[in-house]
Amino acid sequence: MQKVHIKKIAEDLKEAQDNCVQLKPITSRFLDFNIADAYAAAELIHEQRIDEGLVPVGRKIGFTNTNMWPIYGVFEPIWGYMYDTTVTQLARGVAECCIGDYCEPKIEPEIVLHFCSAPSIDATPSELLACIDWIALGFEVVQSHFPGWEFKAADTIVDRGLHGELFIGDQIAINDLGHNIAEDLEQFEITLLCNSTLCEVGRGSNVLGSPLLAVGHLVSVLSNQSRAIPIQAGEIVTTGTLTSAFPVSPGQEWSASLNGMALPKLSIRFKK
């Protein structure tokens, strides 16, 4: 795609993000708009965010839960940047979120990893784990600037991976999680409740087999994108939803708890 079209796409999407409005999917207006074009447009928006003073703090990986692929018609994981203005680290595992500035918001419970050192391109799961100093349970509020959550993979990439805001629960040091962390990350179960009603039970294996494998996929993808910066020490990576993504509305209280891994329960209340 011509650079002038990519620039216009970036401008349109950034305007939609800034003003909480929706627009037709880019792929419905530009039939040749592909994954590479999407990351190029997303990079232009990212550069503008930095110029505005936002500080990148990590990445989100989207569509790692293959159960969601046929629902949304997206059949590969994608990634986007997160910023200091879109990530909140909680003190007591209870969050409050105003959803009036989000387009069709949904909630996703996720495993969040913090990197104390940069992983190598060909890092094994155990080598990836050695680069991580804490793990937490998180809630990502995702949104769609395309009506009805109708899009293709390229649309979601340029829309910052549908990232709205990430709420991070208590951070537990790797050394406090036992000796079988890799296995636990694959085998744990998560229970998601809305107003004390069970919505779904998910598993660590839902995200490409394990959150560690999901982040390994991201490392590989970044290595093949010429303009992408590899994961750096100090970055936060949230690895994708462990359950379905559920619509949220004011007055709801959601909570998530794990069985098989010692991460504390997390709760979030939504208001206008």
Contact 199, 193 (CB under 8 A): yes
Tell me, yes or no, if the pTM score tops 0.75: yes
What number of other Cβ atoms are within 10 A of residue 39's Cβ? 22
Question: What is the pLDDT, as a whole number, of residue 216?
Answer: 97
Whether the pLDDT of residue 1 is over 80: the answer is no
Helix (H, G, I), strand (E, B) or coil at 58: strand
- Give residue-wise pLDDT tens across range 228-237: 999 999 999 9
d(CA 257, CA 248): 18
- Give residue-wise pLDDT tens across range 191-215: 999 999 999 999 999 999 999 999 9
d(CA 157, CA 221): 13
d(CA 162, CA 150): 12
Whether the pLDDT of residue 4 is over 90: the answer is no
- Give residue-wise pLDDT tens across range 5-57: 999 999 999 999 999 999 999 999 999 999 999 999 999 999 999 999 999 99
Residues facing residue 190 across a β-bridge: 202, 258
Question: What is the pLDDT, as a whole number, of residue 24?
Answer: 97
**According to DSSP H, which parts of the chain are helical?**
3-19, 26-29, 35-51, 69-72, 125-130, 153-158, 181-187, 211-223
Question: What is the pLDDT, as a whole number, of residue 3?
Answer: 86
d(CA 156, CA 219): 19
Place of tokens 């995200």: 207
- Domains, in order of start, for the chain: 55-271 (3.90.850.10)
Question: What is the pLDDT, as a whole number, of residue 93?
Answer: 85
Whether the pLDDT of residue 85 is over 90: the answer is yes
What number of other Cβ atoms are within 10 A of residue 164's Cβ? 22
